[in-house]
Each structure stands twice: as C-alpha cells, then as structure tokens.
Structure 1
Amino acid sequence: MSFRGSTAVVGTGSTGYYKRGTSPLTSAQLILTAILRACEDAGADPRSIDGFVSYGGDSSEGLAIGAALGVREVRWSTEVWGGGGGGIAAAVNCAAAAVYSGQADCVAVYRGLSEGTDGRRAFAKGHIGSLYTAHGVLAPAQICALRTQRLLEVDRVPRSAMEAISLTGYHHAQNNPDAVAYGHPVDHTRYENSRWISEPLHLFDCSRENDGAAAVLVVSAERSGDYRGVPALILSGVQGAAAGWSESVENETDYSTAGFHPAMVARLWAGAGIGPGDVDVAQVYENFTGPAVASIIDHGLSPGGPAAGEFLTVENLTVETGTLPINTAGGNIAEGFVHGIGLVVEAVRQIRGGSPNPVAGADISLLIGGPMAPLVSSTVFGSPATA
C-alpha cells in the first residue's frame, strides 16, 4: 500500500479567534471544543478517537484531552519537537503515519492557545537563546528581520513581494466574517505607512497573537466513507532540517531561505506524484511576510531573485485573478494566529468545502509549515479525483 492517498482528513473544527488574553476558556477547554466541532463536522463519535498529535509545546497533553473526551482507548499520543510553527504540517504527517502504520484509527491533530493558561507568547518559549538575548534580540520578529534583510539585499528579492503576501491575506479576510481583520482592509498606503516592528518588517508584515484552537481528524482513506462529507486525501508530507540548518543559531548554510532544502522539496513532490505547477491553492505560514516569500521560492512555486516580484503580486495570489491563490481565509496575518493551526483547517476546507474564498475545482491543496524555523514541514492534500 502506498502512503499516497492512504489517509485522509474527514473533519475540521475551530473555536474562532479571541483577542490575546481574552478567552473565557482555558487552552484545554478550547481544544476540546475544537475537537468536538471536528467530530460534528465528520459525523464521528468523539469516543472513537484513539490518537492525539500536537506541536510547538502545546500545554494540553493528548492523554489529558483523551480522558476529558471519554475516549475508549488512547493508542497514539505524541507532539512534534522543535520548530514552533514549523511543526504544523509535521503534526498532520505524524497523524497520517500513525494511521498508515496501524498504530491508530482516528487521530485528532490540534493546537490551542490561551494566554490565561499558557502566558504571553507561549508559542515562542525556548526559541530565544542566549546568543540572541546577549545582543538584544528578544523577539521572533527581530530574528526573521535579519534573515529577511539578507533575502532582500543578497538574493535581491524585491520588498513588493512581502507586501503582496500581506495584502493578499487582508484581501481574503474581507470575505471571512470569522477573521480578526474582517472589515479592516489594508491597502498599499496603509501598509507602507504602518510603523516599523523590526526593519524591514512593518506592522502588517507580522502575524497576530490570538487565543483559540482548531483541530482536524485523520483516518484511513478506506474508512473515509464512514464519515460525513468529502475527504481531503493526504498525498504527501515532509518534515525535518538539513545539515547546516536546524539549531545552528544564525550560522545556517542557506541563511536567507525558509529551510526547505531541495532534497526535502523533491521528496514532497515525488511522494504526491505532482510538481509545483500542479498546486491549485496554498496555505503558507506567515509568521512574517519575508519568511513566507522564502518558503514559496523554496518550494519552486515562484522564481527567486528579482523575478519573484513579478510572480508574487496581489493579482496573482488572490482567488479572483491569481494562478496561485494563497492564505484564502486570511492566514496568520489577517484571519488570526493560533500557531498556524488555522492554515491546516483552511487547506482542508479548500478540498472538503467551507472556505470563505473557495478555489473553483481545486484538486491539489498545499500546506507549508512555519518557515525559517529550526524544523520545517509541508503537506499536500488532494481531492478524491487525485486518488
């Protein structure tokens, strides 16, 4: 049996987004709500879940979540190490591997954040080492700003590509009533006049911080007919880091890339049996716009260098006119940020239905995990037509 298309996502659920620190629920309560909604979406009995996967230092262990749900048995419980948001696609891949290998039948992939439970910037704990702090680098924006500046200066990628990522997210958010930026569009003037966070990153180059949770259910494709709705097949997935990347702390060989090395990307496409030109829609983790640009280039979706500015435009990245629509619910920047788990939900909705900005006839939906992180990951989802 091939890994390609052997597993599928059959349900998605989310709580929506709260302004950071305002959720009336704990992280665990938010996660339980999201999983129950995913079960409702799939027509699944919550007690039948037998696996749990999260990432990024989630404070809610799978065993505790399983006990609260009253599951019959926990057969698989794990968390992806390292990489922060780089682990979002890796978590899906891990769930798929568990189901594919027979270690579990129905795995919930989730992430939840509540500052009342986890504290401020819980998603970044442990990422700012002594090398950074000794030199006054105290926030993820500063680290990614250094790498983005190299991307602009040495690789000669124009800053307009970064603006396009931001404006695309805000454009799509205007059709998503659940987005934090719904009713608050951003145009060129507002983007350009926004304050610097860490040059070359403006305010609107940065993701948000929100309370909330989301979850998806992964099962065997053979059993997907037991659940409600269209399955989103998992065609391929990769995770990891090449030598000279990982935790080398500012000495990375490919410093201005997103960390998706050529061999990793080649495995992704080979596993799915497609190429970058076959992607119909993509959800690209934008902790900041510079890393998102780098990850799009790493995957071969856009040329690098000055030519990136010709491909990465608002016109080409939006659903109405683009050849590569991205972040169709608004992304981390405009929909809301719970460590990127919303991107998983939207990647699946483009296949299953329910997206606020659906891409007509989409068969291939790409999820790209957090770029410029120690660990990075990607997943390709496909419609039943790709089986």
Structure 2
Amino acid sequence: MAAGSGSLKDATAVVGIGQTPFAKQLPEDERTLACRAVLAALDDAGIAPGEVDALASYTMEETDEVELAKACGFGDLTFFSKVGFGGGGSCATVAHLATAVAAGQASVGVAWRSRKRGSGPRPWTNTTVQLPTPAQWTRPYGLLRPVDEIAMLARRYLHEYGATRDHLFNVALACRNRANQNPAAIMYDRPLTREMYMTSRWVSEPLCLFDNCLETDGALACVVVSAERARDCRRKPVYVHSAAQSLPAQHHGMVNYWNDDPLTGPAWTAARHLWKHSDLAPEDVDVAQIYDAFTPLVLLSLEGYGFCGRGEGGAFTELLEGRSWAGKAGWQTAQELVDGFLEFWRKNDAILRVVDLGAAEGDKRFYKLRMKILNSVNNSLADAVAELQAKGRVDKDVNPAAVAGSLVAMLAAVASHQKGFTSWGVKQAELKPNLALLVHLGVTGRKPTR
C-alpha cells in the first residue's frame, strides 16, 4: 500500500534499530543515551540524521524533541508526538510514526525511549507534585507504587480463576530464559529456578521480587519509513501490518477497580481494533512479545489478545514454555507437560470433541482453533529439540518439527482417549509416567535422570 493512501496495513516498515548497553548504572545522562540509541538506529537503517522529519516518544520521556533534533542534526520536523505513560505505550510510538508516514505527513520517523530508572529516582517518590485524580483515591491508603496497584488485580485474578503463584513463576521463568539467551541482557548469566522464585522476598503480596521487571539505565530507538523506501534500506524491513491503541470507557489506568470487570483492561479493546484491521487472527501468531512489567499482566494480555480463553492465562503458561530438558529438570518438564496436557483435555473434553469433529469435517474455523491449541506445545517442543540439537545433544539428522509434531499428535490422541485406557486396565497413575517417558525420549533421545 503506497504511503499517503490513507491505509496503514503494510504501508510502512521498521528498517533500523539501535540501543545502548543496559545496566544498573550508566555514567551518561538520558539525553546522551537517547542520542546514541537514535544514531545507532539510523546507521542500522543506512539513513542520514538530516533526513529525519518525524519523532515519537512518551509523556514520561525526559529528553524532548527540541533537544534531540538539535543534538542529532535532524532536518525540518513535520510531525512529532508523545504517547501517554511509558513502557505500556511502546507499540503506540511506532503506530504514530506509521500513521504519519502512511498519511504523507513525514518520510523518516524515529521512536525512542531513554531513561535512568536503575540509578535515578522513581516517579512515584516525588511528593512535591499533586497526585493525578485516580491516585488520590488509592495512594493515601497504601497503594504507593505500580506493583501495589497490580498486586490488587493479581489477587483478584488468582481468586476468580484459581490461578496460582506457579503460573506467575512460569511467566517469570520464560522471560528469564529469553534473557539467558541474549548476551546483551543484564540477566544473561543468571538463571532463575523455582526455588529462587518461591523463596524470594515479597514486594507487594502476592507479587514477589521476580514478578517485577528490572529498573535499568539505557536507551533504544527504531526507524520507520514507507514500504517503498524500505526496499532500498540497509536491512530487511519489518512491515507494520496493523496497530491499535485503546483506553476503555471509564478506565482508571492500573487502578482499574471501579467497574464491573476490573480484569478486562486496554488489551481487550486494543485487540478488537488490532484484529479488525489485520489479515491475521490470534491463531496465526507464532511469536508474541508481551509487555511484562509484572507477571500478571502477561496472563491478562494473553487473554485480552485472544491467545487463550478468559481465565485460561494461568493454564496456558503450563504448556512448556521456558522449561529445561537437562538432567532431572528434563524429567520434571516431561511429567508436567503430560499432566498439564491431560488435565486441560479433561476439563474441556466436551468442547474439544466438537472442535475435533468440526476439524475432521473440513471446517476451517475448527481446524484453526485446533491448531492454535496444539501449536502452543508443538512450537515449544520443536524449539527444545532444536536447542538440544545445536548443543550436540540430539542427532543432527533429526527434524525438530517432525519430532514435535509426532509427540503432540500422540499427546492429543492419548488425551482424547483417556477413558479408553481404563477399559484396557491402564490406570491414570500408570498412564502419566509412561507417557512422560515417551515424551522425554522423543525430545532428548535419552532415558530421563530421575
């Protein structure tokens, strides 16, 4: 779609990214960090600073457009905007630039965020400014920090849906495992275990230390141009297919307690708009990068964007992601996967039978729904086999996708036939460990260490 056509779908692309190191304390000030990240992103894209004519940042950003434009040597700015808040609005900065470029208001846009929250003060510690209206009803009563506000929603979620701290740990572990694979991450060489999580100090009950994101010093930026311009840039473009912002009616930010359903936040409204303008649906998505300021927000987002049903965010985390297949942990992973898979099937047996029948009769809607359910396990298993293969622990001739698909097909078949095993004299207590053994052998090629 050509820039200036009025449509956002695939009309623009991200063509460059840049970032500074991240640390608990960096010597540079926020403006210097911002300039370094922005210039790195422009260099990544192969675009000169003088070509930049659009900027987007956040209301919590301390470096303003004037400072950045002068320091980096930008040209005439024809568009600049600020998205409300900070981290939670990150996608919206790209959306603002994409909209401006697609509408012909600008040609090269830069979004950035620079902050020193590792070594600097926290915004909520400033007692010299008047509290925003929602905070006037909560902070005098002890909800001083964002973690206190989210802890209230987390407690409600645990109560409403029977989720547990194990589900929150699954989120924390998945995020930490990604950091353990990224040399640029602060937590690159610091693995997280369940014991560490469960014995860590409370920050705001039921949220512990590891339910909170890190506060760091650093900056990052990206460059957005038209789809036509993107084809000539230095890097392979990443197209902006659909974008959405939302502020639900009568919403109160993170203290969203004064409505009939506090657990339906902005994600639900944004999702409706996002998918409406997209050629894709939740079941088509293989990778989701979800804002993880606090672990409960990931569960709410998984549900809000349609990756699982209402109240199923906790159970969704049980299906493998972030688990280790090494040593005794591998055997535990296999057991927990089997247990979670069989339990999920039992709880949703009637619905899943309808889905299976519809898929077997060729109904594409049911087929997509079935694949969405199975893909959450299949993709993680394939990644696990590929990772072991890269470390030389699995034969190089093994096809990870084929192994994962075969194991998931086996799990689905067994799960849908659980009652039949009883007629063969196989008890549930005997079925689980034997099935876990097959899964462990399939993934690792070895007998488990028990």
1:94 equivalent to 2:96? Answer: yes
Structure 1 CA distance for aligned equivalents of residues 9 and 379 of structure 2: 23
1:13 equivalent to 2:42? Answer: no
What secondary structure does 1:63 align onto? helix
- 8 Å contact kept, 1:279–1:324: no
Residue 170 of structure 1 is matched in structure 2 by 176
Residue 381 of structure 1 is matched in structure 2 by none
1:313 equivalent to 2:318? Answer: yes
AA aligned opposite 2:143: V
What secondary structure does 2:203 align onto? strand
Question: As a proportion of its length, which structure holds more strand?
Answer: 1
- 8 Å contact kept, 1:257–1:291: no
Q: Which range is displaced more, 28-37 or 60-69? A: 60-69
Residue 113 of structure 1 is matched in structure 2 by 115
* 1:72 paired residue among 59, 72, 75: 75
- 8 Å contact kept, 1:15–1:212: yes
AA aligned opposite 2:101: V
- 8 Å contact kept, 1:31–1:111: yes
Structure 2 CA distance for aligned equivalents of residues 32 and 165 of structure 1: 33
Count of paired positions: 321
What secondary structure does 1:286 align onto? coil
1:254 equivalent to 2:275? Answer: no
CA RMSD of aligned residues (A): 2.6
Residue 391 of structure 2 is matched in structure 1 by none
Q: Which range is displaced more, 6-15 or 245-254? A: 245-254
- TM-fit CA distance, 1:92: 1.1
**Normalised TM-score (structure 2):** 0.66
Query: Against the structure 1 CA distance between its residues 102 and 318, is the aligned structure 2 distance closer, same or farther, given a 3 Å change threshold?
Result: farther
- TM-fit CA distance, 1:158: 3.5
Matches within 5 A, 1:243-322: 243-246=249-252, 250-261=257-268, 263-305=269-311, 307-313=312-318, 315-316=320-321
- TM-fit CA distance, 1:259: 2.7
- TM-fit CA distance, 1:319: 12
Structure 1 CA distance for aligned equivalents of residues 120 and 191 of structure 2: 29
Matches within 5 A, 1:131-280: 131-246=137-252, 250-261=257-268, 263-280=269-286
AA aligned opposite 1:166: A
Q: Which range is displaced more, 296-305 or 103-112? A: 296-305
Structure 1 CA distance for aligned equivalents of residues 324 and 156 of structure 2: 30
- TM-fit CA distance, 1:203: 0.7
Query: Against the structure 1 CA distance between its residues 193 and 146, is the aligned structure 2 distance closer, same or farther, given a 3 Å change threshold?
Result: same
- 8 Å contact kept, 1:51–1:108: yes
Please give the per-residue CA displacement for 1:315-350, whole angstroms capped at 9, x wherever unaligned.
23679985577xx9xxxxxxxxxxxxxxxxxxxxxx
Residue 105 of structure 2 is matched in structure 1 by 103
What secondary structure does 2:288 align onto? strand
Higher Cα Rg: structure 1 or 2?
A: 2
* 2:38 paired residue among 35, 39, 51: 35
- 8 Å contact kept, 2:256–2:262: no
Residue 48 of structure 1 is matched in structure 2 by 51
Residue 341 of structure 1 is matched in structure 2 by none
Residue 369 of structure 1 is matched in structure 2 by none
Structure 2 CA distance for aligned equivalents of residues 123 and 295 of structure 1: 25
Q: Percent identity?
A: 32
Query: Against the structure 1 CA distance between its residues 124 and 99, is the aligned structure 2 distance closer, same or farther, given a 3 Å change threshold?
Result: farther
Query: Against the structure 1 CA distance between its residues 187 and 115, is the aligned structure 2 distance closer, same or farther, given a 3 Å change threshold?
Result: closer
**Normalised TM-score (structure 1):** 0.77
What secondary structure does 1:154 align onto? helix
Structure 2 CA distance for aligned equivalents of residues 152 and 220 of structure 1: 44
